[in-house]
Amino acid sequence: MYSLGIDIGSTTSKGALLADGNRIVATALRNAGIGTDGPEEVVKELLRASDLDEGQIGVTVSTGYGRTLYPEAHYRVSELTCHALGAHFIFPGIRTLIDIGGQDAKVISLDGAGRMSNFQMNDKCAAGTGRFLDVMAGILQLRAGDLAGEAALAESICPISSTCTVFAESEVISHLAQGVNRKDLVAGICESVATRTGSLAKRVGVTPPLAMSGGVALNEGVRGALSRYLGVEILFSPLAQFFGGLGAALYGYQTYNKEN
Amino acid sequence: MTNQEILSVLAEAAGNPKKQLHHHLSQGRKVVALAPVYAPEELIHSQGFVPMGAWGADLELQEAKAFFPAFICSITQSIVELGIRGAYEGIHAMVIPTLCDSLKVLTQNWKHAVPSIPLIVTSYPQNRGIPAAQDYLKSGFVQISEKLEELGGTPFSEEALAKSIDLYNRHRKAMRELSSTLGKHPRISARQRSDIFKSAHFMRKEDHLELVEGLIEGLSDQESGGLPHRKEDGPASRTRVITTGILADHPRLLNILDETGFHLVADDLAHESRQYRTDAPTGGAPLDALVERFCKQQHCSVLFDPGKGRASYLADLATRENARGVIYFMTKFCDPEEFDLVPVKRNCDAAGIPFLSIEVDRQMSNFSQARTALETFKEMIEQRRM
């Protein structure tokens, strides 16, 4: 049976298609989230890539902040539950997951069986999220995807406030005016996100193995800074951005089988 | 009256405090407003006033910002905002206790921001377990009584106070019984439950008691309570939880609790059940009974408790009520509640009771994060069943 998970976030839509709850058939991503045609485009892409039609999909589950806006879904599940399921699917035995998305950050504890046992969300602020990185990249005339490469070339780390995106923006401009090396600034920006999220993780409690999910997980600069801050290795999968969609598909498969 | 009719009356009262105030005034009654958290209501009642709760409102703060820093409890700020906007016009006095730092600040700001409405400050002893605390509290109550008389109240009378204490004890008993009854009725929504408790702050206790007793009787008559099924609601699908904190009365927040599928089986909210846990003793001097009542109150963040008994109280309450989780509504910038959060969470963790903390304040406009947190909490609890 095919199950489809669609993760509708603030800035992107991600989807995953699973066969029999254990084989990834396709994944798809569009840089268009809530209120756009991103979700529909992702589903089309999944069907195209898997050479399936809609009638062959047994169950569809939506997740993410836009989960209620996808009427075709059979089930709607919170993104924390789905990210935990997806992460456990890729990294069985994982005990802590840090998900940094476009507009928020979450830390999830899992028990030995992969069930969520605790979670914490950030406090309604863009600091420590993908949005923070986007704003900073904009000031530095970089793309968010270039930040990790730039940070890797830093000679030192220029500290940036992790309290507030608006304050940090002024701080970065001030550093630029003083002639601070852009690479050092980018390293500081990555460190700022890591510090913010790391303190959130410490509130929940960090038990290894620990993995990251969400778009910011792709940023090696943030991953490295977070690993140093928490003193643990961070597991990474190129599918990190699809954990939500994978978890949604998995939830659909498990729930469908239970109910039928 | 049917249960549905009683619930409608209570919802109307909860949603329209200004209408209640005007109703009292139109009946020739004198009204005294009571800021959180505790006030000697019986004393105020016995001297001919209708005590009305003033716990602020969900509104955008504008005028009050001139009097407060940004990082202070929005309940106190919204009380001043309402005062400046004239929402309390017609009342005889505002009673403000000094049970936390924000309330102390509120007393001074009220005097300057709303000079047209007299202020009565109630000072409480911190260490309530020593005889000096009782003497101090009693002298404070005497001062309040004198001020009430100056404001047009009837002179203090032991007989009148004893009658008021009797009424309030009966009301408290009814509210405890109702809370217990509601735990057996998942068809009563979180919104309806909140309306029942909130309306008690605005209605005359005599009138509220009658409705509550009618509701208890009506709900005990039949399993369904004569109430319609809630949407997507098999009783078994509702997850039993208890709530704690200062208050949680925002309709959108309550709707999310209902839509997510929670059944509030008990609460430890200052605005709700904490008001009704402790009765005043009867038989002795009534003013001493009021003093004793306050000194006996337990498990509240604004009452000094070096042992933090609230933590074990909540875990025991959850176990007794067969609750599957505890939801801590953390009022933003509330120091006393922040202090209690850690021991409460630790106790719940140790007892294996799922725990969720959600930040709330009087200026919430975006509930997406609260919805996600509550949905995730429900899913987390359900996963444990598997």
Which chain A residue shows the shortest CA-CA distance from B380? A116
The letter for the amino acid at A189 is I
In the numeric block, which tokens belong to residue A178? 């003083």
Task: Tell me, yes or no, whether A4 and A123 share the same domain.
Answer: no
The letter for the amino acid at A180 is V
Task: Tell me, yes or no, whether A101 and A66 share the same domain.
Answer: no
Task: Tell me, yes or no, whether A23 and A46 share the same domain.
Answer: yes
ipTM over 0.95: no
Looking at residue B235, what is its pLDDT? 45
Looking at residue B229, what is its pLDDT? 59
Q: What is the pLDDT of residues B28-44, one digit of tens each?
A: 999 999 999 999 999 99
Task: Tell me, yes or no, whether A100 and A148 share the same domain.
Answer: yes
Task: Tell me, yes or no, whether A71 and A194 share the same domain.
Answer: no
Task: Tell me, yes or no, whether A181 and A78 share the same domain.
Answer: no
For A242, what's the count of Cα atoms within 13 Å in the CB-facing half-sphere?
Answer: 23
- Compare CB distances from B375 to A78, A104, A123 and report the shortest one's residue: A78
Looking at residue A260, what is its pLDDT? 83
Task: Check CB contact of A65 with chain B, cutoff 8 Å.
Answer: yes
Task: Tell me, yes or no, whether A231 and A133 share the same domain.
Answer: yes
Number of CB atoms found within 10 A of residue A78's CB: 27
CB contact under 8 A, B369 and A121: yes
- The residue behind tokens 């509220």 is B208
CB contact under 8 A, A81 and B376: yes
Number of independent structural domains in chain A: 2
Task: Tell me, yes or no, whether A100 and A227 share the same domain.
Answer: yes
* 386 residues of chain B, pLDDT tens digit each: 999 999 999 999 999 999 999 999 999 999 999 999 999 999 999 999 999 999 999 999 999 999 999 899 999 999 999 999 999 999 999 999 999 999 999 999 999 999 999 999 999 999 999 999 999 999 999 999 999 999 999 999 999 999 999 999 999 999 999 999 999 999 899 999 999 999 999 999 999 999 999 999 999 876 655 566 555 554 457 999 999 999 999 999 999 999 999 999 999 999 999 999 999 999 899 999 999 999 999 999 999 999 999 999 999 999 999 999 999 999 999 999 999 999 999 999 999 999 999 999 998 888 988 999 999 999 999 988 76
Report chain B residues whose CB lies below 8 A from the CB of A116. Answer: 376, 379-380, 383
- What is the C-alpha separation between A226 and A218, in angstroms, rounded? 13
Omega before residue A209 within 30° of 0, cis: yes
Number of CB atoms found within 10 A of residue A211's CB: 26
CB contact under 8 A, B383 and A81: yes
Task: Tell me, yes or no, whether A248 and A157 share the same domain.
Answer: no
Report chain A residues whose CB lies below 8 A from the CB of B376. Answer: 78, 80-81, 116, 119
Q: Which residues contact B369 (CB under 8 A, 6 or more apart)?
A: A104, A121, A124
Q: What is the pLDDT of residues A108-138, one digit of tens each?
A: 999 988 899 999 998 767 777 888 888 889 9
CB A243 within 8 A of CB A106: no
Element (H, E) at A40: helix A38-50
- Compare CB distances from A80 to B359, B366, B376 and report the shortest one's residue: B376
Report chain A residues whose CB lies below 8 A from the CB of B379. Answer: 77-78, 80-81, 116
Task: Tell me, yes or no, whether A123 and A216 share the same domain.
Answer: yes
CB B118 within 8 A of CB B94: yes
Which chain A residue shows the shortest CA-CA distance from B376? A78
The domains of chain B, with CATH numbers, are 16-157 (3.40.50.11890), 160-385 (3.40.50.11900)
CB A192 within 8 A of CB A219: no
Task: Tell me, yes or no, whether A64 and A179 share the same domain.
Answer: no
| B52 DSSP β-pair partners | B33
Identify the domain containing residue A127 by its residue range.
Answer: 93-236
Looking at residue B133, what is its pLDDT? 96
Task: Tell me, yes or no, whether A116 and A195 share the same domain.
Answer: yes
- Compare CB distances from B372 to A78, A115, A123 and report the shortest one's residue: A78
Counting as low any pLDDT under 50, the low residues of chain A are none
Strands (E), chain B: 30-34, 49-53, 93-97, 119-122, 239-245, 262-269, 325-331, 355-360
Sign of CA dihedral B64, B124, B137, B123: negative
Task: Check CB contact of A255 with chain B, cutoff 8 Å.
Answer: no
CATH number at residue A132: 3.30.420.40
Element (H, E) at A96: strand A96-100
CB contact under 8 A, B379 and A116: yes
